[in-house]
């Protein structure tokens, strides 16, 4: 289990292909774990690898495994909790307030969307508007998850960059763009996050219309939305390590398509975890760590 602690003694060499996991160096972040001691991450020998073989291409299951691994690294490193949790809590509270406001006015929204049903019988009108209300809630939850990730990334960009950069440095061979100051990357990152969010909304619009269909809209459509939105969500979650490698939005989309198996697994797992209250708070910074590890794996760099 990865835990925060004082600088660990050098580990004895491990046979075969086992390598030491990231340790947060003192220079990477001035967060104290105790009097006179800086935060470090101990070797990750106890963590199961996210893929069975280094040479085998990772699949969707391996991509999801990197999210779990990233969350475990984050939770085991209290020294970076403040960096990761503050922007996430702000974003979560804003999105939750909007979601509660929608639910409180759900009847009015369903009535506004179905004015043609005013002349129907009471039973038919109620059945239709109940189905529309369910579809609206499902769409709102989807929108809440995506807007939460986008908003948290925008608010937490400087903090998430520090976390990602610490992982890169501790594993060795960091990308050349790792030293860029956050105020230079923030404007472009914000614009690209908003463009990607608009793209996700555009892709989900026809699915929202299908979601108004009884039965189909409450069964198949949410599953398709989870896969499609999870895939596009991963493009947002992998933004920092890919930008450090010179890939902006168009390049990130191409990268994600080239590695759609693990990227989709990673994104869908994050999407589902974001649906769980409280778990989504640690899932976002965990996804930053896991996304950095996944990008290193897919680009041939050491990820443990």
Question: 245-296 pLDDT, tens per residue?
Answer: 999 999 999 999 999 999 999 999 999 998 887 888 899 999 999 999 999 9
Region 161-171 average pLDDT:
91
In this predicted structure, the answer to whether residue 41 has a pLDDT above a threshold of 80 is: no
| Mean pLDDT across the chain | 80
Q: Domain range holding 280? A: 58-298
More confident residue, 205 or 97: 97
More confident residue, 126 or 6: 126
**Can you tell me the mean pLDDT for 52-81?**
84
Q: Residue 39 above 50 pLDDT?
A: no
| 118 is a domain residue | yes
Q: In this structure, is residue 53 part of a structural domain?
A: no
**Domain presence at residue 245:** yes
The model's pTM is 0.73
For residue 34, the surrounding DSSP H or E stretch is strand 32-34
Report percent pLDDT > 90 for the chain.
34
Cβ partners under 8 Å of residue 96, min gap 6 = 144
In a domain, 201, yes or no: yes
Distance of alpha carbon 251 from alpha carbon 239, whole angstroms: 10
Q: Residue 87 half-sphere exposure, CB side, CA atoms within 13 Å?
A: 22
**Structural domain tally of the chain?**
1
Q: What is the pLDDT of residue 279?
A: 86
pLDDT for the residue 56:
67
* C-alpha closest to that of 291 among 85, 106, 69, 12: 69
Instruction: Give domain status of residue 14, yes or no.
Output: no
Measured distance CA(76)–CA(61) in Å, rounded? 23
In a domain, 29, yes or no: no
Distance of alpha carbon 55 from alpha carbon 274, whole angstroms = 31
Helix axes 279-298, 122-155, angle to 10 degrees: 60
User: Which positions ≥6 away from 198 have C-beta within 8 Å?
Assistant: none
Predicted confidence at residue 64, as pLDDT, reads 94
In terms of DSSP bridges, do strands 32-34 and 37-38 run parallel, antiparallel, or are they unpaired?
Answer: antiparallel
* Residue partners of 101: CB distance under 8 A and separation at least 6: none
Return the higher-pLDDT residue of 13 and 126.
126
Comparing C-alpha atoms, which of 229, 295, 231, 293 is closest to residue 260? 231
Q: Is residue 240 within 8 Å of residue 292, measured between CB atoms?
A: yes
The verdict on residue 173 lying in a domain is yes
Structure confidence by residue, pLDDT tens digits, 69-120? 999 999 988 888 888 899 999 998 999 899 999 989 999 998 998 888 888 8
Query: DSSP secondary structure string, 54-92?
Result: SSSPP-HHHHHHHHHHHHHHHHT-GGGHHHHHHHHHHHH
* Residue 26: half-sphere exposure toward Cβ, Cα within 13 Å: 8
Give the count of beta carbons closer than 10 Å to the beta carbon of residue 107.
11
Which pLDDT does position 122 carry in this prediction?
Answer: 85
């Amino acid at each position: 289990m990865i835990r925060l602690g004082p600088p660990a003694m050098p580990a004895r060499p491990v046979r075969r292909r086992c390598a030491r996991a990231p340790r947060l160096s003192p220079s990477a972040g001035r967060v104290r774990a105790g009097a006179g001691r800086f935060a470090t991450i101990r070797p990750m020998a106890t963590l199961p690898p996210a893929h069975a073989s280094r040479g085998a291409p990772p699949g969707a299951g391996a991509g999801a495994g990197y999210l779990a691994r990233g969350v475990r690294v984050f939770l085991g490193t209290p020294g970076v909790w403040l960096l990761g949790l503050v922007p996430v809590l702000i974003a979560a509270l804003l999105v939750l307030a909007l979601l509660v406001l929608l639910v409180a006015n759900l009847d009015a929204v369903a009535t506004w969307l179905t004015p043609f049903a005013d002349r129907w019988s009471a039973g038919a009108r109620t059945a239709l508007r109940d189905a529309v209300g369910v579809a609206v809630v499902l769409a709102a939850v989807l929108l809440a998850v995506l807007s939460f990730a986008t908003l948290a990334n925008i608010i937490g960009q400087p903090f998430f960059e520090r976390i990602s950069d610490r992982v890169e440095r501790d594993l060795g061979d960091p990308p050349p763009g790792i030293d860029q100051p956050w105020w230079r990357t923030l404007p472009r990152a914000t614009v690209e996050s908003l463009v990607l969010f608009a793209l996700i909304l555009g892709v989900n619009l026809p699915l929202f219309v299908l979601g108004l269909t009884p039965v189909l809209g409450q069964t198949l459509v949410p599953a398709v939305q989870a896969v499609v939105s999870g895939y596009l969500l991963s493009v947002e979650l992998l933004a920092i390590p890919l930008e450090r490698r010179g890939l902006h939005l168009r390049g990130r989309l191409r990268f994600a398509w080239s590695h759609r198996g693990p990227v989709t697994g990673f994104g869908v797992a994050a999407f589902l975890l974001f649906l769980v209250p409280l778990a989504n708070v640690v899932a976002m910074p965990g996804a930053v760590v896991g996304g950095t590890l996944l990008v290193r794996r897919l680009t041939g760099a050491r990820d443990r």
